[in-house]
Structure 1
Amino acid sequence: MFCDQCGCPFYIDERLVATRLLSQKGLFSTERSQTAEAFDVDTQQTVILRVVDSEDPLYVDPLLHAVRALQKIHSGKKVPGIMQLVDGDSYFTYPIRPDEPAAHFMVARKVEGISLTEWIQKNGAISEELAKNWLKQLLNAVDALHHEGYLHRDIKPDNIIVTDDLQLVLVDFDTIFCLSDSYWKTPRIGTGAYMAPEQSSGNPLPTSDLYSIGRTIIEALTGKFPLELARYPNECVVWDREAPRLSKPFTELIDRLANKNLLFRPPAASVALTYLSEVEAIPARKRYWRWLSAPIMTTAAAIFAVSLTIAAVGSFALSQQVQSDSERLIAEGNQLILQGDTREGLLLLEEAVELAPDSEEVRAKLAIAYAFIRDFESAIENYKIALEVEPKNAQYLYEIANVYEEVNLQESIFYYMEAVENSEADSSIQLESLNNLARVYLLTDQLQKAEEVLSRIDTHIEDPITRMTVFKNLGWLNYERANYDIAIEQLNQALEADATFPDPYCLLALIQQHRGEDNYNDRATCVFLNAPPKPEVTAWREELNRVAD
């Protein structure tokens, strides 16, 4: 673009003249890959030139990917917040030097403004209101990007332009990546301080871009580079001390976006936008922010985790009284298992059984521990010993049915039916047993039996998760029978109860797919909402991905 001898600019393709070199630094900026400001003689406008003076795919491919992505993203309605190519010849080749291969050029519209890095250096930390506005802009831009099947992979203040009217524009698409490629193991690309752990390991996901946005907003709120902030021993950044006047819901939303564990991040930009709208719409002190504590375990796993905790804590409470040695061993063993020391914990529980071999309660607590560590065979063995002593104990029947869901669905049906029959005195166990029985019937394509079981359930349910699963099962039943309008109504009722599980989103996306409707938002939430997969969710995701491909 510039003369090697004197540094003077020259005409490119008889219409462009480079006027100012913008950068020679960065992942793809070398003497063979540069960005410059240029003047377009035809349009009399200043534009941005990206040039790759090389045939090396390391430099050429990122440029071509960026061109294709930006053309696709803006092919219909222009997307605010994402850089745009010029109309006409936005990509061409042209020889810079005689007797050498032609260089590759991308021509983009110039965005008037300064980088977010420069803006923060000049103006300091931003307010919560501006942070909400900017977060919404970035999420909308990334949502459009993901909707077209691309990841940015290098969102950071240096790659965001702030205009005079405080609009943000995402630039520098050298790191763009197409989700339809085999991307589960890619080169480590991005900027360390803003890069999600899974992306650093070569496994980028849409939530990886959300992590980068979270880190960027933290920098804007604190005025400090992420690596300058203090850290807890678990490597979580202690940033809110630098911005103490923020509302708790907004702080927690940013924490979720920037969480190193992708299980706790919103599964998609569209979901993050929904969370943000809740933060904006309702005063923080008047709302329980259900989505901030989204579960990451299946229902069965949660049951055993909670049961194990109760067993441990409850037994420790008894320690203030006269407590048997077996109860003490159970409490200590459960605590060790919860802390991750499975081997020592189980040794203490087995010792408790030796001290009280005839106690069905000790056997049941040992079964809970085995189920928690997914040793289902040992869990079933101990539940059966407990049931020999108390064959009509509804709690034990319900729990062994939960375990059998993992290994034998027909046995699970049998024990759920037994739990229903013996739980008249405990309405909560009866409700959960009926609901889980309906789900297993649906899993085994016994739709008529599922309908009969669901008809026994009173849908006036207070517990949000139970209410969600009941309406999800009703929606699932009507989806299988192609009663789509009824299914949509029931699945929306499930989401109103609890919107943190993938199941209703998957079914809604499948219905939209069958109807030929745009199902991107629900499909993305289904695929990327993080929870250990249940067999039906795995099957629904595979069907959605198969059709998307």
Structure 2
Amino acid sequence: MVYCINPLCTKRHNPDEAENCLTCETPLLINNRIRLLRPLRSLEKDVDSNTEVFEVEDTAPVWGEKPRIRVMKILKWSEPKRIELMRREVQVLTNLAHPGIPRADVSDYFTYTLPTLGIKMYCLVMEKMEGENLEQWVETYGKISQNTALDWMLQVLEMVEHLHRRGYFHRDIKPTNIIHQPDGKLALVDYGAVRAITQTYLVKVAASGEDAITGGGSGYEVTAIGSIGYSAPEQINGQSLPQSDFYAIGRTFVYLLTGIPILDLPTDSITGRLKWRHKATHVNKPVADFIDELINPFPGLRPQTTELIRQRIQKLPWDSRVHEILKSRLFKISQYGLIAVAVIGGGFLSRPIIAGYFISQGEKLETSNATQSAIKNFDIARKIYPAKNLSIARFYFEKGSRNLNNPQLAKKYYELAVKYNDKDASAYNNLAAMCQLLGDVSCVKSSYEKQFAIEPNGWEGHHGLGSFYESQGKNDLAEKEYQIAIQKSEQAIPAIAALARLKNKNKDYNAAASLATKGLQKTQNKELLASFYKDLGWSSWQQNNLNQAQQYLEKATSLDPQRTDAYCLLSQVETALKKTDDARTSLEVCMLGKSSLPEVFMWRQQFLDRILKNE
């Protein structure tokens, strides 16, 4: 069967051997290369009356290949805005190179004029991604599992990340535009709504109000485009952003996990949030919480970059496993688990700020009125500081310190603090810490550089920069910064602890033990003492001095019951000593305690791997 390209033809399907349409006599070979094999959208009730999509046979001689089965999008009417969108799609597809994104060449975009009617049609031929779209997949197989969701989400994110890095965002992500290919890999199709991320465009969005959709108001025109149910609120208002793609991804996975069309799911009458969890009881809380962040109605409260989303998705299997362990009979929350909290190894914020961050970790961003919140913060700051010393900079510094559970917001306040007082070394130090949490490398480096310029003899900044380099896996640079901190001040005892820990990580156990011994002679602080005993226990364990390692680690946990890493080490030492009951107790604290230390995550994963191996 071959189809006629004429949209006004009353009987468009023709026999394979026909050269011209039997009804309207339009040639069936388009531009001497394309034959339309079958429509991929209904021709009678097309959701988009301006375009048609066909599976086609392309006979163009490309490197001597045989005719290829491809897809062709046809713009039926010469509407300027639609022509612009198709040209933009051509530009995108010819500039992208990803196995999950259809390929197209410049020669694949052409016009065709109907010989009898004189109507010019715009055509774009592209690679056909074999398989069924995810809406069809769900109709056939039902809603997907949580593990499948995480796998597919990473695949979709990889394609969106590829698009964003090249300066575009998709604007029409939905189940029907994601193809499940025969090899199990996903493909993202239909780039007809794609938009370039340019400064000009973002200025237009920022300047536009409701009238901007029709060209009024500010004088800028920002076209509203997308799909109902999947497009973000700001996109429906003609103000789409890169974060609008994240909203569409979240909504897509709500559909995949529930199997229920988005428009059939209820919304909360007060918050406007989608109510879907009761239809996806196989999804645990960490994953559901993450999806709800993606579909937050406010773009500023969604994850802001693909990298942040990737980190969250990659961490979700662990969060989910711990969530299940906490619910299982195998692990009961002990008195140790109730008090176990993590201590950041970097130490680049003051202890009260670190404590405030951990206390607030996991809490939702406050949604109280901004003015009331400002007044409240102002009153607190005024109580702490005399009125004569109060400044706008200090006010913003305090607001930043009180919003550490939201690094993006805290970063904003610290930036305002240094704007009004560029001599505040503490503000630069805390700004660097927030930028580290957000993965903003240039901000981290520039903030520490400005802190060093203000306090050339200070050690805290070098300690913080060392912690940053260590988190980036640049251990040689981290060691250099820790050593600078130690050289600058006798007070840089936390830097000694950090360097001892790094030496253990690098398997230089003698150096770690030497540093820890040195540190014990310089402080009476229980938490620092615990850190040094922990590192002595670590090095002794790796040198097979098990009894000595146990003594050091028990000393560490007695001095600081909050040292999750010490419990992890102690459980391994006790296991080696065949002290099974003791090892189990230490392991519970290791698994339940909060920690951001990479070695803790490694030890936990090793334990889980042993469980899975023995199942």
Common fold: TM-score over 0.5: yes
Write the deviation string for residues 27-70 of structure 1: whole angstroms up to 9, x where unpaired: 9832x531111111243111111112333213211111111111
Pick aligned residue for 2:75 from 46, 52, 63: 52
- 1:64–1:258 CA distance, 2 compared to 1 (3 A): same
Measure the CA separation in 2 of the matches of 1:164 and 1:115.
11
Contact 1:442 1:477 in 2 (8 A): no
Aligned residue for 1:79? 98
Structure 1 residue identity aligned to 2:273: C
Aligned residue for 2:293? 256
Measure the CA separation in 2 of the matches of 1:338 and 1:238.
19
Aligned residue for 1:517? none
1:14-163 matches, within 5 Å, as 14-23=32-41, 24=43, 29-30=48-49, 32-42=50-60, 43-72=66-95, 74=96, 78-85=97-104, 87=105, 89-98=107-116, 100=118, 102-163=120-181
Measure the CA separation in 2 of the matches of 1:372 and 1:121.
53
Aligned residue for 2:555? none
> How many angstroms does 1:19 deviate by?
1.4
Contact 1:475 1:490 in 2 (8 A): no
Measure the CA separation in 2 of the matches of 1:262 and 1:172.
23
> How many angstroms does 1:177 deviate by?
1.2
Secondary structure of 1:89 counterpart: helix
Contact 2:90 2:106 in 1 (8 A): no
Structure 1 residue identity aligned to 2:322: A
Measure the CA separation in 2 of the matches of 1:173 and 1:41.
24
Measure the CA separation in 1 of the matches of 2:434 and 2:38.
59
> How many angstroms does 1:245 deviate by?
2.3
Structure 2 residue identity aligned to 1:45: R
Pick aligned residue for 1:175 from 188, 193, 216: 193
Measure the CA separation in 1 of the matches of 2:306 and 2:127.
26
> How many angstroms does 1:103 deviate by?
2.3
Aligned residue for 2:508? none
Aligned residue for 1:237? 274
> How many angstroms does 1:172 deviate by?
1.3
2:375 is equivalent to residue 372 of structure 1 = yes
Aligned residue for 1:476? 447
Pick aligned residue for 2:283 from 237, 246, 254: 246
- 1:153–1:495 CA distance, 2 compared to 1 (3 A): farther
Secondary structure of 1:12 counterpart: coil
Aligned residue for 1:220? 256
Contact 1:479 1:487 in 2 (8 A): no
- 1:340–1:147 CA distance, 2 compared to 1 (3 A): closer
2:224 is equivalent to residue 205 of structure 1 = no
Measure the CA separation in 2 of the matches of 1:466 and 1:20.
52
Secondary structure of 2:81 counterpart: helix
Secondary structure of 2:179 counterpart: strand
> How many angstroms does 1:262 deviate by?
2.1
Measure the CA separation in 2 of the matches of 1:35 and 1:399.
69
Secondary structure of 1:174 counterpart: coil
Contact 1:256 1:266 in 2 (8 A): yes
Aligned residue for 2:317? 280
Measure the CA separation in 1 of the matches of 2:175 and 2:302.
21
> How many angstroms does 1:159 deviate by?
1.3
Contact 1:468 1:494 in 2 (8 A): no
Measure the CA separation in 2 of the matches of 1:53 and 1:488.
63
Measure the CA separation in 2 of the matches of 1:61 and 1:237.
34
- 1:373–1:25 CA distance, 2 compared to 1 (3 A): farther
Contact 1:468 1:493 in 2 (8 A): no
Contact 1:114 1:163 in 2 (8 A): yes
Contact 1:475 1:491 in 2 (8 A): no
Structure 2 residue identity aligned to 1:259: N
- 1:489–1:339 CA distance, 2 compared to 1 (3 A): closer
Pick aligned residue for 2:384 from 396, 416, 432: 396
> How many angstroms does 1:261 deviate by?
2.3
- Aligned CA RMSD, in angstroms, stands at 4.6
Pick aligned residue for 2:225 from 176, 189, 202: 189
Structure 2 residue identity aligned to 1:166: G
Aligned residue for 1:355? none
Secondary structure of 2:40 counterpart: strand
> How many angstroms does 1:275 deviate by?
0.7
Measure the CA separation in 2 of the matches of 1:13 and 1:279.
51
Write the deviation string for residues 63-100 of structure 1: whole angstroms up to 9, x where unpaired: 1111111112x2xxx21322222x56221222223462
Contact 2:31 2:112 in 1 (8 A): yes
Measure the CA separation in 1 of the matches of 2:395 and 2:313.
41
Write the deviation string for residues 298-355 of structure 1: whole angstroms up to 9, x where unpaired: x9xxx9xx9xxxxxxxxxxxxxxxxxxxxxxxxxxxxxx996598xxxxxxxxxxxxx
- 1:439–1:55 CA distance, 2 compared to 1 (3 A): closer
- 1:268–1:496 CA distance, 2 compared to 1 (3 A): farther
Contact 1:401 1:412 in 2 (8 A): no
5+ long unaligned stretches in structure 2: 15-20, 22-27, 61-65, 209-221, 327-336, 338-348, 357-365, 399-413, 455-459, 472-615
Deviates further, 117-126 or 170-179: 170-179
Secondary structure of 1:118 counterpart: helix
- 1:100–1:167 CA distance, 2 compared to 1 (3 A): same
Contact 2:37 2:57 in 1 (8 A): yes
Contact 2:417 2:427 in 1 (8 A): no
- 1:260–1:491 CA distance, 2 compared to 1 (3 A): farther
Aligned residue for 1:509? none
- 1:150–1:26 CA distance, 2 compared to 1 (3 A): farther
* Higher-Rg member (1/2): 2
Aligned residue for 2:5? 2
Measure the CA separation in 2 of the matches of 1:50 and 1:270.
32
- 1:89–1:474 CA distance, 2 compared to 1 (3 A): closer
- 1:398–1:229 CA distance, 2 compared to 1 (3 A): farther
Measure the CA separation in 1 of the matches of 2:48 and 2:367.
50
- 1:45–1:492 CA distance, 2 compared to 1 (3 A): farther
- 1:122–1:490 CA distance, 2 compared to 1 (3 A): same
Write the deviation string for residues 235-286 of structure 1: whole angstroms up to 9, x where unpaired: 2122111121223211211111112122321001221011111113453338
Write the deviation string for residues 373-393 of structure 1: whole angstroms up to 9, x where unpaired: 79x7xx69x95xxxxxxxxxx
> How many angstroms does 1:194 deviate by?
0.8
Q: % of aligned pairs identical?
A: 24
- 1:445–1:60 CA distance, 2 compared to 1 (3 A): same
Contact 1:117 1:158 in 2 (8 A): yes
Measure the CA separation in 2 of the matches of 1:11 and 1:188.
36
With the length of structure 1 as denominator, give the TM-score of the two structures. Answer: 0.57
Structure 2 residue identity aligned to 1:51: I
Measure the CA separation in 1 of the matches of 2:197 and 2:435.
35
Secondary structure of 1:278 counterpart: helix
